Each structure stands twice: as C-alpha cells, then as structure tokens.
Amino acid sequence: GNSVTQMEGPVTLSEEAFLTINCTYTATGYPSLFWYVQYPGEGLQLLLKATKADDKGSNKGFEATYRKETTSFHLEKGSVQVSDSAVYFCALSDNTNAGKSTFGDGTTLTVKP
C-alpha cells in the first residue's frame, strides 16, 4: 500500500534560519504529492503541491520538488519566520481511489525570535 514517511520532530529554529523537512513516499503508479500546514487550533490547509516528476511546488516562500528517482518531496524555506510555527504534513494521492490521500505523521516546527 501507499505510505509517507516524514522526518521526526519537533524541529526548533531561530528566525531567518533555513528549513528542511524531509519526506519520502512509497506508492504504486504516479502519485500527486502535497504539503499541508496546520496552525494551532485549526484544520489542515494546502501549502503546495506537485503532480509529476521534477515539478516544483511553491507558496509563501516554501518549496518542494517531486523527485521520482529518490521518491522524495522535501519541504524547504530559505528564511523562516515566527509565523511559520505550525505542524507540517506531507501527503500523497494516487489519483485513483476516490481521491483518498495518505498522510505522514506530521512534523512540528517552532520558530523562535
């Protein structure tokens, strides 16, 4: 079956530091890949997505590149802010099964001023 593995957290960074959150996946076929973000007390919301190999998703300064050869979709940001403190979820959709997505366990990011 499909699975998503994220780097374990929590991650604590100082403001303006570089962020990487690793994500690798196992799936049949050609899945779409996503990063969702969950701010405290809220539901998840889409951060960025990519649909095929070598696609780069980007939003709010975050980027992730779909790497089929390493089955990875690592999230990066060059300079984090306190407002980026949240839980980040990597996910995939295999585009076949009623739109079901498989989520990683989430990585908690705390950015300190």
Partner 1 sequence: NAGVTQTPKFQVLKTGQSMTLQCAQDMNHNSMYWYRQDPGMGLRLIYYSASEGTTDKGEVPNGYNVSRLNKREFSLRLESAAPSQTSVYFCASSEKLAGGPETQYFGPGTRLLVL
Report the interface residues with partner 1, using CB under 8 A.
Answer: 32, 34, 36, 41-46, 49, 51, 89, 91, 93, 95, 98-101, 103-106
Minimum CB separation from partner 1 for residue 46, in Å?
6
Looking at the Cβ atoms of 80 and 104, the one nearer to partner 1 is: 104
Q: In this complex, which beta carbon is closest to partner 1, that of residue 43 or of residue 113?
A: 43
Neighbours of 6 (CB within 10 A): 23
Q: How far is the CB of 18 from partner 1 (least distance, A)?
A: 25
| CA gap 1, 22 in Å, rounded | 20
Closest CB 57 distance from partner 1, rounded Å = 10
Quick check: 92 and 103 in contact, CB under 8 A?
A: no
Query: Which of 104, 52, 40, 113 shows the shortest CA–CA distance to 75?
Result: 104
